Structure 1
Amino acid sequence: MTRWPRTAAPAWPVHIAFLLAVVTAGTAYAMAGPHLRTLIFSLVTLVPIATFAGALGTGHLADRRPWLIATAGLVLLSVSFAFWSQWVPGHHFGRAEGRPADFGIAAAHLLFLAGAAGVLRRHGANDFAGLLDAALFGVCMAGPVWAWLISPRLTPAATPLGSMLALADVAVLAAVLGALARIGIRARRARGPVAYLVLCCGVTLAAQVTGVLTASHGSAIPTAVLLMIAFLTIAAAPLHPAAPMVTDPDRPAREVTGNPPLLRMGLALCANPLIAAIQAVRGDASASVLLPVGTMLAVPLVLLRLRQMSLLRSRAERTLAHHAHHDDLTGLHNRRHVVSEIDRALADLANGTLDQVTVLLLDLDGFKPVNDRHGHRAGDAVLRTVASRLAGAAADGDVVGRVGGDEFLVLRRGRGPEDLPTRAASLMRLPVDAGDAMVRVGVSCGSATARRGEAVDRDALIGRADAAMYAEKSAHRLQVA
């Protein structure tokens, strides 16, 4: 089914429609009477529900779950404002009174947070740390907004529960804003709709502040207009041609690496306790609200960030350990590891815990012509295929490694099947897909065994296997000649 609007369509019609809707709704609300204002506001709250439903119904939004969750939040907001129609005109919005409407609005914002989490799931695959940092900074910056702009202007009608709810609501919006802004920075093709979502969060925060500033005196029109702009802004996001890119990026993002911004994180985390301490010294009652609520919201993000840093460190340590003992091209053990294992096996042989130690050395025949004729990429394909076949032919407990350019070694501790050289040689002689051609290589094998009671060191054991291997290689050359 063809998506509407098409992802290749221009975005300017959406921008023009958004600006016209904002001017029309704002002007109509400012000029209308009290009852008509309630109707205009209610109609505006229904606009994003309609645009979300249309974009979902036409298949424009591929990943439906985050948008459906956001739609549920819009429905809850619309119902809350319709049921408590005088909430905004009566100067109740943002006053932290702890009324049912406050709970409905906060629950709707939590649904937006859940929808944003679905967006983060895709974009956060390679930038989880950056998104966590952005959300954490948002939560921490909510403290100054609350302490300096909102809390000092709350009326006596504000309650401790309402203050906690309002502060948590501001922090949630700030966290979503920070995470979405981070996505917009990295997801270039989704910047249009993400910009609308970021603007929606920012305008909603501005409405929170304006609602408090105009609570004691002034008109409620600015708060209502800002809220309508927020509704129209989020309504434009699913209509943007690039909206599918928000939840379904067209290409995997490059993984972000680097040192975590510990200094900035530390300063951000210090903001709320510092403000709370200043308020406590001044005897401000809101100090009892800021620190516990801010900490409850910031601590989970900090724990997630610490866990992510721990996982990154563990992964880096595993990667370093793997590269220290494995060959990068074939994935087999490298020469250093194989030599170490031979020394350990000979030590076990000397103290009587092993009956015998066998070393099988293999060298490819005809490998250089493959490189010369088909290129090094084909040669690498041959080496990877040979390594995989040799590992499959070896028994459990055998140590298989690449010890040279086209030279491989198998270490066997104790007794095992005696047909390993034959099976390995037959597998290696099978055709290999080198990309643009099927090629064949031969193999020369040489083995050496040390038994209990036999005094032999590693160099001597490998030397015997090497001599046997070159003897077989010479025999192959005589046969070809």
Structure 2
Amino acid sequence: MGWPRATAPAWPVHAGLLLLAVTTVGGYALADPELRNVIFALVTAVPIVTYLLALGAGHLTDRGPWLAAVAGLGFLTLGTVMWPDWIPGHHFGRAEGSVTDLVMASAHLLFLVGTATALRRHGRTDPGGLIDAALFGLCAAGPLWEWLIGPHLGSHATALGKALLFSDVLVLAAVLGCLIRIGITAHGARGPLGYLVLTASLTLANDVVAVLTIDGSAVWTAQIMMLAYLTLAVGPILPTARGVTEPAPGPAVTRHPPLGLLGAALCANPLIAVVQAVRADGPASVVLPVATMLVVPMVVLRLRLLSSQRARAERTLAHQAHHDELTGLYNRRHIVTKIDEAMDALDRGEISEVTLLLCDLDGFKPVNDRYGHQAGDAVLQAVARRLSAVAGPHDAVGRLGGDEFMILQCGGEPVADRITAALCEPIPITGGTVRIGASVGTATAWPGDGADRESLIARADAAMYAVKARPAAPEPEPATI
């Protein structure tokens, strides 16, 4: 049986999750300690099964990142089997820095790396939004640590244990921010992304709960962690899971947060450090400086991205100001500026002559009338390519508008005959080819002859109409398939 299509209803999956969550969480609370370990280990294996099934059915693309995520989940399950007392014994949350903590943190990081790699395509369409989201997450991690986690760590917490726990909080907060951002932009995959957001939120909440309940029962910690595993298992089996790694084409259209809000978030950690320094009721924490140092490279990356975007926008605007949108040739304004520059160089004696060629297409109107404006645009683009190929490397080629073109030469070999020959060749359009002609008028200015831009254009225009007055150009040939 094939995997459900994207249009299939998702309610059976939601209902199955609810039933499984109630059964496992309730069963864990009522079971004896040994059975609790079995239930917890089985729950950690559920997402591995769903991910492997989805990968085997071809429902999840980009197999490499998802396999890395599955490997991370496998290490977590293996760690649960090898150290079954990690959760029930409340070692999770003590920040002891043991081998178990190191293995679990590494497995967790491997899964997050795999997931982040699978989501990389969304970053290509909205890199600035993801950086902003990650910054918000990192800025929120500092207060979370200082207010809820750090003050409740006991004497059993080691430097390595604190570092592992704090890094887990930082990564989860940043990933949570990015997942929320992607969920806003990826409308077609909000279901699986919503479950990933729930998984990250539950895992982050579990870090807090594990520390706050360190002297009480570990049941809450285990139950929240089981819910995180179950919500993680739902994502890949939803009909729209493919959209997680295959974003809709086109750029993201969501707005970025106001700069004031982003600035307030960046000020959170320094302000807390200032309050701690003023109160002077305990040793200064190194957590906030570390969090701030992690934020700085991301701010620099965001500024670099903004600078690159602005540079690209300026280049685009400059190109649009000087070039014709359809053909890519110089537009009328810029080619006229080029003529003025050439005439000034001629007056200064820097060049020996200035030649202007006006080119008006013959038989172009019937192409539009017979085959449509799309075919006409294809003909104009083909003419632009051929004129650019005929012109010399230092010649300027422009489109004056409609079917009129201009070539400016500052010396060099005459190209009028080559233009006529090039444009008489068949031009392919959709469904066949057409033929057009061209009337080319040439005017040349030399030093001391008193010519200016207006007179040079007028002479070239008169020469073009003299050519056009000759026998009529051929009608376009019917398109042949």
TM-score with structure 1 length normalisation? 0.92
Match of 2:478 in 1: none
1:272 shift after superposition: 1.2
Partner Cα separation in structure 2 for residue 478 and residue 219 of structure 1 = 94
Query: Contact 1:139 / 1:175 at 8 angstroms: preserved in 2?
Result: yes
Match of 2:479 in 1: none
Query: Contact 1:109 / 1:173 at 8 angstroms: preserved in 2?
Result: no
1:259 shift after superposition: 6.6
1:201 shift after superposition: 0.3
Does the C-alpha gap of structure 1 residues 279 and 88 become closer, same or farther in structure 2, counting only changes over 3 Å? Answer: farther
Partner Cα separation in structure 1 for residue 302 and residue 116 of structure 2 = 16
State the number of aligned residues.
Answer: 475
Match of 2:335 in 1: 338
Does the C-alpha gap of structure 1 residues 286 and 361 become closer, same or farther in structure 2, counting only changes over 3 Å? Answer: farther
SS at match of 1:475: coil
User: Given the alignment, which residue of 265, 268, 271 partners 2:265?
Assistant: 268
Aligned counterparts, 1:165-204, within 5 A = 165-204=164-203
Matched residue type, 2:302: R
Q: Indicate yes or no: 2:57 matched with 1:62.
A: no
Matched residue type, 2:425: L
1:40 shift after superposition: 1.6
Match of 1:309 in 2: 306
Match of 1:252 in 2: 249
Query: Contact 2:185 / 2:253 at 8 angstroms: preserved in 1?
Result: no
User: Given the alignment, which residue of 293, 299, 309 partners 2:290?
Assistant: 293
Match of 1:144 in 2: 143
Matched residue type, 2:239: P
Does the C-alpha gap of structure 1 residues 479 and 146 become closer, same or farther in structure 2, counting only changes over 3 Å? Answer: closer
Match of 2:470 in 1: 475
Partner Cα separation in structure 2 for residue 214 and residue 171 of structure 1 = 21
Query: Contact 1:192 / 1:242 at 8 angstroms: preserved in 2?
Result: yes
User: Given the alignment, which residue of 333, 344, 349 partners 2:346?
Assistant: 349
Partner Cα separation in structure 2 for residue 69 and residue 427 of structure 1 = 57
Does the C-alpha gap of structure 1 residues 28 and 74 become closer, same or farther in structure 2, counting only changes over 3 Å? Answer: same
Partner Cα separation in structure 1 for residue 109 and residue 392 of structure 2 = 56
Match of 1:277 in 2: 274
1:223 shift after superposition: 0.4
SS at match of 1:476: coil
1:129 shift after superposition: 1.1
User: Given the alignment, which residue of 457, 465, 473 partners 2:460?
Assistant: 465
Deviations along 1:58-116, one digit per CA (max 9) or x if unpaired, are: 22212212211211221222233333321211222123332233323332332233223
Query: Contact 2:356 / 2:442 at 8 angstroms: preserved in 1?
Result: yes
Match of 2:214 in 1: 215
Partner Cα separation in structure 2 for residue 88 and residue 286 of structure 1 = 31
SS at match of 2:401: coil
Query: Contact 2:437 / 2:473 at 8 angstroms: preserved in 1?
Result: no
Partner Cα separation in structure 2 for residue 286 and residue 311 of structure 1 = 42
Aligned counterparts, 1:147-158, within 5 A = 147-158=146-157
Does the C-alpha gap of structure 1 residues 112 and 396 become closer, same or farther in structure 2, counting only changes over 3 Å? Answer: same
| Mean CA deviation greater in 112-121 or 339-348 | 112-121
Matched residue type, 2:232: I
User: Given the alignment, which residue of 421, 440, 449 partners 1:445?
Assistant: 440
1:130 shift after superposition: 1.1
Match of 1:425 in 2: 420
Does the C-alpha gap of structure 1 residues 308 and 256 become closer, same or farther in structure 2, counting only changes over 3 Å? Answer: farther
SS at match of 1:447: strand
Matched residue type, 2:462: A
Query: Contact 1:140 / 1:294 at 8 angstroms: preserved in 2?
Result: yes
Does the C-alpha gap of structure 1 residues 209 and 306 become closer, same or farther in structure 2, counting only changes over 3 Å? Answer: same
Matched residue type, 2:238: H
SS at match of 1:301: helix
1:436 shift after superposition: 6.3
Partner Cα separation in structure 2 for residue 34 and residue 284 of structure 1 = 42
The runs of 5 or more residues in structure 2 that have no matched partner are 476-481
1:271 shift after superposition: 0.8
Does the C-alpha gap of structure 1 residues 160 and 276 become closer, same or farther in structure 2, counting only changes over 3 Å? Answer: farther
Matched residue type, 1:398: D
Aligned counterparts, 1:393-432, within 5 A = 393-416=390-413, 418=414, 420-432=415-427
Partner Cα separation in structure 1 for residue 233 and residue 83 of structure 2 = 22
Match of 1:226 in 2: 224
Partner Cα separation in structure 2 for residue 406 and residue 226 of structure 1 = 70
SS at match of 1:60: coil
1:55 shift after superposition: 1.5
Identity of aligned residues (%): 57
SS at match of 2:217: coil
Partner Cα separation in structure 2 for residue 20 and residue 41 of structure 1 = 16
What is the CA RMSD across the aligned residues, in angstroms? 2.3
Deviations along 1:155-179, one digit per CA (max 9) or x if unpaired, are: 1222333323322211211111111
Does the C-alpha gap of structure 1 residues 287 and 20 become closer, same or farther in structure 2, counting only changes over 3 Å? Answer: farther
Partner Cα separation in structure 2 for residue 196 and residue 68 of structure 1 = 19
| Mean CA deviation greater in 116-125 or 186-195 | 116-125
1:322 shift after superposition: 0.4
